[in-house]
A and B are shown apart, each in its own frame.
Chain A
Amino acid sequence: MAMLEVKNISISFGGLKAVNDFSVTIEKGQLYGLIGPNGAGKTTVFNLLTGVYKPDTGTILLDGKNITGRSTIEINQDGIARTFQNIRLFKELSVLDNVKVGLHNHFKYSTIEGILRLPRYYKVEKQMNERAMELLKVFELDSVADYKASNLPYGAQRKLEIARALATEPKLLLLDEPAAGMNPNETAELMDTIRFVRDNFDMTILLIEHDMKLVSGICEKLTVLNFGQVLTQGDTQTVLNDHRVITAYLGE
């Protein structure tokens, strides 16, 4: 069964059809790319998948479960986590705490237990710290765990956002322009990280990206979006050589 099955979703804002009749099927463990010129509706698709917007029509199935119209929080608990195009970290919290917020729904104790510092607080906090440090180690952020998140360099902030998303133990990870603002070296490193996450966390990944080197380097399949509609979908190389795709990006 497919991990994500989107069938004919549409949404319009006023008279503008931002996403029109969008369908996609992503298999478990796939690295899937969503590309298209600026304003094509890629981030809107992400917002539809994560429940920020509710689709006007169509259905979204995650691992066989219908998640259409559910709230952002519920969808996260169902198993979709995301990062953002413009980094959204908890700036005043430490790097470690950022990840621990991600663990919120998986390691629980009540507020009362927290305030009274009952034994369960110490036990669960210890488990949380261990799990968070494990995740930070994967992204080589364990040495800066005590830093304020806003003091990290740009590339590390991107990584921390992925670590935080993974902390929610998703089945599907959505990355919104992970390489934006990175230099070629950082991008190359990011490609390794994304592959590593897919292999070691047994993750299905859908990403939006403009950097064609990254897209052709790691994505197995692509969907091209133009003016809210699917232009073409298929294997990365076939799609990238499609003249319609080149026209959409560069014009006639």
Chain B
Amino acid sequence: MKKNKLLIQNSITYAIIIGCWILVQILASTGHMTSLMKGLLVPLCIYVIMAVSLNLTVGILGELSLGHAGFMCLGAFSGAFFTNCMANVIPSVQVRFFFALLIGALVAGVFGILIGIPVLRLRGDYLAIVTLAFGEIIKNLLNAIYVGMDQSGFHFSFKDTTSLGMDDTGVVIIKGAQGITGTPKAATFTIGIILVLLTLFVVLNLINSRSGRAIMAIRDNRIAAESVGINITKFKLMAFSISASLAGVAGVLYGHNLSSLAATPKNFGYNQSIMILVFVVLGGLGNIRGSIIAAVVLTMLPELLRGLNDYRMLIYAIVLIVMMIFNSSPKAIEMRSVFMDKIKKNRKEAA
């Protein structure tokens, strides 16, 4: 009985996403879509993937990570790097984009493991601080590195393009603070939605499997989990690296949505990490559907309020506070349940 309930819950989540896609298609074909909204569609998918994947670390594994944007940054750069390198080898943009997604996920996942090994030995606040530092290190490194490619292979430098020492066939791919330019704009809303569904598929199925239970057992009681023979390090690393590689996928999508990609504090800095954490906390720790809704609402809100100019961030802040209270304050939860009971009662009486 419980299993069916779970199946229904998960199906609702998938249905919401597919419903959104259909709605957008209808709006677009009838011409009700402003260009502002069209520009928001892919970022919405990106933020939803980021929020869901961070929920795996924060809500399911129970470790506070503040460096999630760092993994997104890695995915974005490795994906865009691949697409630009292979421009002559694989002519089709779509095929290159597909492989870029795999590579972005792989690179971010591998870095997730590498960073996870030292970091996951820490707990609580310390872990948060160290992940924050790692996120910043990744961003700043990618901000400083120069990579070029010529006949003899790749050239790296931390100084400038001339010190790469390439011959005349050389092309500079990553230009330091300018980042990667000229990436084809391959990301579309449909691809974004497919990736969101894929992320949900991975995360929801993971949670309801043997490994997922082990991860949640570690979150609830580490000592007890160890006493029933669960390998703490293995499952912590597994959750952390899956979360990182999904962030990498979001990053590739981000990199292919803009023609020029640079690692600035605005897109991959810790503000971004905090913002995604806000989505997760607001949506409810461990609540995947909540993360999706929070990510969509809080990404749309500042854009929809653009007309209000100066008051826009003020309203954003107020909405955030009100939603937090409504979601998490004990009194508000009590009021909500009383309200829901009343509705149920009325329905019964009506029937």
- A167 and B2: CB pair below 8 A? no
| Selected contact of B213 from candidates A88, A93, A121, A145, CB within 8 Å | A93
A108-B210 CB under 8 A given contacts A92-B219, A93-B217, A146-B2? yes
Query: B203 → chain A, closest Cβ, in Å?
Result: 9
Task: Determine if B259 is an interface residue (Cβ-Cβ < 8 Å).
Answer: no
A55-90: which have CB < 8 Å to B?
72-73, 76-77, 81-82, 84, 88-90
- B229 and A114: CB pair below 8 A? no
Complex formed: what's the CA distance from A235 to B75 in Å? Answer: 67
Proximity bits, B5-42, A CB within 8 Å = 1, else 0: 00000000000000000000000000000000000000
- Known contacts A82-B227, A124-B210, A146-B1; 17 additional CB pairs below 8 A are A52-B223, A72-B227, A76-B229, A84-B223, A88-B224, A88-B227, A91-B220, A91-B221, A92-B219, A100-B213, A101-B214, A101-B228, A109-B209, A111-B206, A111-B211, A114-B210, A167-B228
Task: Determine if B328 is an interface residue (Cβ-Cβ < 8 Å).
Answer: no
- A89 and B220: CB pair below 8 A? yes
Query: A22 → chain B, closest Cβ, in Å?
Result: 21
B214-238: which have CB < 8 Å to A?
214, 216-217, 219-221, 223-231, 238
Complex formed: what's the CA distance from A3 to B33 in Å? Answer: 74
| Selected contact of A109 from candidates B1, B210, B212, B219, CB within 8 Å | B210
Our count of residue pairs bridging A and B at CB distance below 8 angstroms stands at 98
Complex formed: what's the CA distance from A100 to B212 in Å? Answer: 11
- A90 and B217: CB pair below 8 A? yes
A104-B220 CB under 8 A given contacts A81-B227, A81-B228, A164-B228? no
Complex formed: what's the CA distance from A124 to B211 in Å? Answer: 13
- B226 and A114: CB pair below 8 A? no
- Interface size of A in residues (CB-CB distance below 8 Å): 41
Complex formed: what's the CA distance from A76 to B202 in Å? Answer: 30
Complex formed: what's the CA distance from A168 to B217 in Å? Answer: 15
Proximity bits, A34-57, B CB within 8 Å = 1, else 0: 000000000000000010100000
- A111 and B238: CB pair below 8 A? yes
- B211 and A93: CB pair below 8 A? no
- A90 and B220: CB pair below 8 A? yes
| Selected contact of B205 from candidates A50, A89, A105, A115, CB within 8 Å | A115
Query: B211 → chain A, closest Cβ, in Å?
Result: 4
Complex formed: what's the CA distance from A39 to B217 in Å? Answer: 30
- Interface size of B in residues (CB-CB distance below 8 Å): 28
Residues in B with CB closer than 8 Å to A123 are none
A101-B209 CB under 8 A given contacts A90-B221, A91-B221? no
Main SS class of interface, B: helix
- B213 and A104: CB pair below 8 A? yes
Q: Which of B202, B216, B221 counts the most A-chain CB atoms under 10 A from its CB?
A: B221
Residues in B with CB closer than 8 Å to A104 are 210, 213-214, 228-230
- B230 and A73: CB pair below 8 A? yes
Query: A141 → chain B, closest Cβ, in Å?
Result: 15
B181-205: which have CB < 8 Å to A?
201-202, 205
Residues in B with CB closer than 8 Å to A117 are 205
Residues in B with CB closer than 8 Å to A93 are 213, 216-217, 220
- B216 and A50: CB pair below 8 A? no
Complex formed: what's the CA distance from A76 to B209 in Å? Answer: 22
Residues in B with CB closer than 8 Å to A116 are 205
Q: Which of B206, B213, B216 counts the most A-chain CB atoms under 10 A from its CB?
A: B213
A90-B205 CB under 8 A given contacts A101-B213, A108-B210? no
| Selected contact of B206 from candidates A108, A109, A114, A146, CB within 8 Å | A114
Query: B3 → chain A, closest Cβ, in Å?
Result: 8
Residues in B with CB closer than 8 Å to A121 are 209
- B216 and A92: CB pair below 8 A? yes
Residues in B with CB closer than 8 Å to A111 are 206, 209-211, 238
| Selected contact of B228 from candidates A94, A115, A165, CB within 8 Å | A165
Residues in B with CB closer than 8 Å to A108 are 210
Query: A91 → chain B, closest Cβ, in Å?
Result: 5
A73 — nearest CB in chain B belongs to which residue? Answer: B229
Task: Determine if A102 is an interface residue (Cβ-Cβ < 8 Å).
Answer: yes
Residues in A with CB closer than 8 Å to B230 are 73, 101, 104
Query: B50 → chain A, closest Cβ, in Å?
Result: 19
Task: Determine if A209 is an interface residue (Cβ-Cβ < 8 Å).
Answer: no
Complex formed: what's the CA distance from A121 to B221 in Å? Answer: 25
- B229 and A168: CB pair below 8 A? yes
Complex formed: what's the CA distance from A77 to B216 in Å? Answer: 20
A108 — nearest CB in chain B belongs to which residue? Answer: B210
Q: Which of B229, B230, B238 counts the most A-chain CB atoms under 10 A from its CB?
A: B229
Complex formed: what's the CA distance from A50 to B228 in Å? Answer: 11
Query: A243 → chain B, closest Cβ, in Å?
Result: 37
